[in-house]
Amino acid sequence: MTLQGRITLTRYLIEERRRFPKASGELNGLILDISLACKALARIVSRGPLAAAMLPQAGAVNIQGEVQKPLDVLSNDIFVRMNEWSGHLAGMASEEMDAPCQIPPSFPRGKYLLVFDPLDGSSNIDVNVAVGSIFSILRAPPEVAGSGRDVEEADFLQPGAAQVAAGYAIYGPTTQFVLTVGNGVAVFTLDHDLGEFVLTASNVQVPEDTHEFAINTSNARFWEPPVKRYVDECLAGKTGGRGKDFNMRWIASVVAEAHRILMRGGVFLYPRDTKDPARPGRLRLLYEANPLGFVMEQAGGRASTGRQPVLGVRPAELHQRIGLVFGSKNEVERIERYHHEPAASTAAPAPLFATRSLFRD
């Protein structure tokens, strides 16, 4: 096989760089390093149980309070080792690490920050469901870039709108690398014969309307009224106020949910609820919500907390959790509207209008 007439990730990045003649090429190099980490992980994930011999010991609890699986540990290590040496980064932060990761003194430091979820959906590995890696690239603050000082948590606390690039890799029947550099969304498929990511879809657009929604209904008793209202309307189908039938999906792997919605539309809800009042949401703002939100917005979709655009949220801490709704624009806007409308009264009816009976409890 040859590359004749095919656009590789490298070529795509070079052509994007030509739009900015003064660009140094560091961003291109960083994205290619990330893609290399994803290729390595794709190989390991594809081996399933056969890869057990190469996995490290696990069992520690990460900052999220979750027990790390061996593949979580290995995927995090791969991302760090593939990106620490090139001189593109001032520092990194990962869902699997308590504090920011410093670039070793033996390597040069650059002007970008990388945040990532090295293996989203790893709990699905045992049942062979698609998993993925999510990443976000930020500019390091001026006082950090090139200064040599170690990065601090505050350096990463930038709103999603400040992202330079973001995307994810999904490890399924094929390995695909989804990328935005702020100029639309492109999808690359890994050609194993060539060892290259090859462009298979460009300027991807999320349909504005949909008949699919994704939510974990086991949490229904904890939902806020606007979310319950929306889901009830979807479930009512043609006989309800929406006048059309909806299909419900739930994979429990946010990167797989995002990819389905990116390619054919839909809306995903992992909203704020009352299950744990100390947590205003379940997904991580920096590692999941912001990069996926950037991808969705660049594809003509919308990403929201339910109350406001997620890319406008100023992070308060490195591992902050948040409610997230993303996907087809018109559905996300409807959910936002429900959150802003006055809540329906739950007060008991006045005695004059109460149900009357000869018998009372």
CB 261 within 8 A of CB 206: yes
Structure tokens at 317: 């801490």
95 is in an annotated binding site: yes
Structure tokens at 267: 């809306």
Across the beta sheet with 267-270, the strand order is: 247-249, 212-214, 267-270, 324-327, 302-304
121 is in an annotated binding site: yes
Structure tokens at 250: 């739930």
120 is in an annotated binding site: yes
Distance CA 168, CA 180 (A): 10
123 is in an annotated binding site: yes
117 is in an annotated binding site: yes
Structure tokens at 29: 């190099």
CB 268 within 8 A of CB 327: yes
**Phi, psi values for residue 207, rounded to 5°:** -55, 140
Structure tokens at 344: 């329906």
Task: Dump the DSSP string for 158-224.
Answer: --GGG-SEEEEEEESSSEEEEEESSS--EEEEEETTTTEEEEEE-S----S--SEEE--GGGGGGB-
Task: Dump the DSSP string for 58-123.
Answer: ---B-TTS-BPPHHHHHHHHHHHHHHSSSS-EEEEEETT-SSPEEPPTTS---SEEEEEEEEETGG
30 is in an annotated binding site: no
Distance CA 154, CA 303 (A): 24
Distance CA 107, CA 85 (A): 5
Structure tokens at 145: 């870039």
CB 233 within 8 A of CB 240: yes
Helix (H) or strand (E) holding 132, with range, is strand 131-139
Distance CA 132, CA 326 (A): 18
152 is in an annotated binding site: no
List, as residue ranges, the binding site.
Answer: 95, 117, 119-123, 216, 288
List, as residue ranges, the binding site for Mg(2+).
Answer: 95, 117, 119-120, 288
List, as residue ranges, the binding site for substrate.
Answer: 120-123, 216
